[in-house]
Structures are given as structure tokens and as C-alpha cells.
């Protein structure tokens, strides 16, 4: 097995499902049928990309506020993922790049928990027209169940 497959195998044991990369070195995760997460290994950078499309970006004034708050969130420290806009499909995306050197499945598991918590907070706020998150301190990954599905 290669490094990425080893990490996925160990992570799969932690979450109770088999995780295997495809021929493109990508593994898709389904979180509670609401969030589709992609893990992809980058050989050149020896890193793992975690990415998810969160939701459509609505038009109007809310859109401007959304982009402004997303940029502010990207400046938070510590930062949990980067929010970006995909013009091609009009979606807000969240992604994180993690160095794979010496990465263990327990660390990746914790990063995924934080990633999912942030994704859900933003997705819920946009979907339901709630106030947008303004500080990373509002996200508490310890309160979030991890129910991943393959």
C-alpha cells in the first residue's frame, strides 16, 4: 500500500468504514447525506486536500455579505479550512491542505471533525438565511457527531 492508502485504511478503522482511494487517488466521503467531502492526495506536494462544495451562493446583498464574512473567516487563526467561491457552479467551497509527512489517522480525524463543523455552520447559515459566522470561536467540533458514510 502507499502512504495515502495507509492513512485512509487507519482512518476508516476509526470511523467504522472501509476507505480506499480510487485510481485518481481520491476518496469520497458522505457525511449524513448532507455534505460530500473529497480527500485527494497530491504526490508533488506530499499533501492531502480535503474539499467540499457547501451550497449555492444566493444573489443580492446577502451575497456581498457572505463573501465579506468568508474573507474574514479566512483570516482567522487558527484557520479551519479556506472558504472560496466556485464561479463555474456558483457554490461556496471549503478546502484544506494538510502535509502528509508524518500524518497519522487520529490527526486527520480531528481535522475532519473541525472541517465538518465549519462546513455545517456555514452551510446552515446560508441555507436558512441565518447570520453568518464571524469568528472561528463559534465553531466547537467537540459538539459535532462524526457520522461519516462511505
What pLDDT does residue 134 have? 67
Task: Report the 10 Å Cβ neighbour count for 132.
Answer: 17
What pLDDT does residue 94 have? 96
Distances from the Cα of 39 to the Cαs of 64, 65, 133, in angstroms?
29, 29, 25
Q: What is the pLDDT of residues 115-138, one digit of tens each?
A: 999 999 999 988 887 788 865 445
Q: Domains of the chain (ranges plus CATH)? A: 3-144 (3.30.1460.10)
Residue 26 has pLDDT above 80, yes or no: yes
**Residue 99, C-beta contacts closer than 8 angstroms, at least 6 positions apart:** 46, 47
Instruction: Give 64: exposed, middle or buried? Use CB within 10 Å, 0-12, 13-18, 19+.
Output: exposed
Whether 55 contacts 62, CB under 8 Å? no
All three cell numbers of 129, joined, read 438565511
What pLDDT does residue 16 have? 87
Q: Taking residues 84-109, what's their average pLDDT?
A: 93
Q: What is the pLDDT of residues 36-76, one digit of tens each?
A: 999 999 988 999 999 999 999 988 888 888 999 999 989 88
DSSP classification of residue 102 = T
Residue 2 has pLDDT above 90, yes or no: no
Amino acid at each position: 500500500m502507499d502512504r495515502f492508502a495507509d492513512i485512509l485504511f487507519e482512518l476508516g478503522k476509526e470511523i467504522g468504514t472501509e476507505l480506499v482511494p480510487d485510481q485518481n487517488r481520491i476518496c469520497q466521503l458522505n457525511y449524513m447525506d448532507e455534505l460530500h467531502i473529497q480527500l485527494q492526495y497530491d504526490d508533488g506536494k506530499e499533501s492531502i486536500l480535503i474539499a467540499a462544495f457547501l451550497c449555492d451562493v444566493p444573489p443580492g446583498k446577502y451575497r456581498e455579505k457572505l463573501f465579506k464574512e468568508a474573507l474574514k473567516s479566512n483570516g482567522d487563526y487558527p484557520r479551519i479550512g479556506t472558504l472560496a467561491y466556485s464561479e463555474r457552479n456558483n457554490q461556496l467551497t471549503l478546502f484544506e491542505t494538510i502535509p502528509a509527512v508524518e500524518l497519522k489517522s487520529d490527526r486527520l480525524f480531528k481535522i475532519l471533525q473541525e472541517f465538518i463543523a465549519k462546513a455545517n455552520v456555514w452551510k446552515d447559515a446560508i441555507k436558512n438565511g441565518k447570520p453568518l459566522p464571524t469568528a472561528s470561536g463559534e465553531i466547537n467540533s467537540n459538539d459535532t457527531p462524526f457520522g461519516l458514510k462511505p
